[in-house]
Amino acid sequence: MSDRLYRWDLRASPYLYIAPFFVLFAAFGVFPLLYTAWVSLHDWTLLSDEHPFVGVANYRELFGDPYFWNALGNTLSILVLSTVPQLLFALLLAHLLNRPLRGQTFFRLGLLLPNVTSVVAVAVIFSQLFGRDFGLINAILESLGAGRIDWQNGTASSHVAIATMIIWQWTGYNSLIYLAAMKAVPRDLYESATLDGATGLQQLTRITIPMIRPTIIFTVVVSTIYGLQVFAQPQLFGGGGPTGITGGNDRQFQTLSLYLYEHAFTNGFQFGYASATAWVMFAVIVLGAGLNYLFVRKIRSTS
């Protein structure tokens, strides 16, 4: 009896240890996802007790809405402008901190500070920096003879401003992830490269990057997922009110998340339509993350 109980315990214990996670994931992850799919097939608003089944009508209306495609284009533009420089800067900073340097702990803590700063504070500060009349960026540009830029009213300029916020907030965080991966690279590889006369840049491209590729793939996928869901930065950049939800007067920086929020909570509580938007957004995120993964893996296999 005791042997049977011991064998049962040996087999069942690992499943019991991980069961709480999967129970919570099913309750707060899978169920809302499936329920949202069900709601997206109905004309579901909070202003009515009737929720008639409409099939894929919400999806047809969504794909026929030019504002949706505008939001998707804005999201992809901000994603590219923020993610590519962010990861390149993070890699460079991590490479510099991986070398013998005094006060390394101070610099590492400094890298983490932007990430622990409230996103509201970051958005407010950067909104002031990119202000049209009294912003520091425009003051510098004017002193250089480049003239002032109305950052909020332009499509490209607003995307640059929002991307700058995201870069500032997440570069240090990714640097620490890269730095942790670089610490696992054998030091004798760098010592041999130094004896062979390799420069710091050559060591970065020939040793460091190939050795930490799994970490780079991870950061690319995670950054893509975050970049496609960006919400607070454009909303606060637009002032936080109705203009923030629509992403400016001409929707020049409205992202998919803001578009979803607009229809779910400020435009008649159209939960059915918003749920359809959420599912399309989910598909875009899965597709974007998958393409990025395949792209980075392709680079890995060809190098």
Tens digit of pLDDT for each residue in 105-161? 888 888 888 888 888 888 888 888 888 888 888 889 888 888 888 888 889 999 999
Question: Residue 164: what pLDDT?
Answer: 92
Q: Which of 8-12, 74-78, 107-111 has the highest mean pLDDT?
A: 74-78
- Which DSSP category does 270 fall into? B
The number of CA neighbours under 13 Å toward the Cβ of 209 is 16
Per-residue pLDDT tens digits for 51-60: 899 989 999 9
The phi and psi torsions of 164 (rounded to 5 degrees) equal -65, -40
Helices (H), the chain: 2-25, 31-40, 57-63, 66-97, 104-116, 119-129, 136-143, 155-182, 187-195, 200-203, 209-211, 213-227, 232-237, 242-245, 256-261, 271-302
Amino acid at 54: V
Confidence band (pLDDT; 50, 70, 90) for 13?
Answer: confident
* DSSP structure string for 212-238: THHHHHHHHHHHHHHHTT--HHHHHHT
Confidence band (pLDDT; 50, 70, 90) for 302?
Answer: low
Taking the C-alpha atoms of residue 60 and residue 53, their distance in angstroms, rounded to an integer, is: 14
Residue 217's nearest CA partner among 181, 167, 168 is: 181
Crossing angle (nearest 10°) for helices 271-302 and 66-97: 40
pTM: 0.84
pLDDT at 83 over 80: yes
Torsion, Cα 138 139 142 147, to 10 degrees, reads 20
Cross-strand bridge partners of residue 42? 53
Question: Residue 1: what pLDDT?
Answer: 59
Question: Residue 273: what pLDDT?
Answer: 92
* Mean predicted confidence (pLDDT) in 249-274: 89
Per-residue pLDDT tens digits for 146-185: 888 888 888 999 999 999 999 998 999 999 999 999 888 8
Taking the C-alpha atoms of residue 94 and residue 182, their distance in angstroms, rounded to an integer, is: 8
Per-residue pLDDT tens digits for 176-217: 999 999 888 888 888 888 888 888 888 888 888 888 888 888
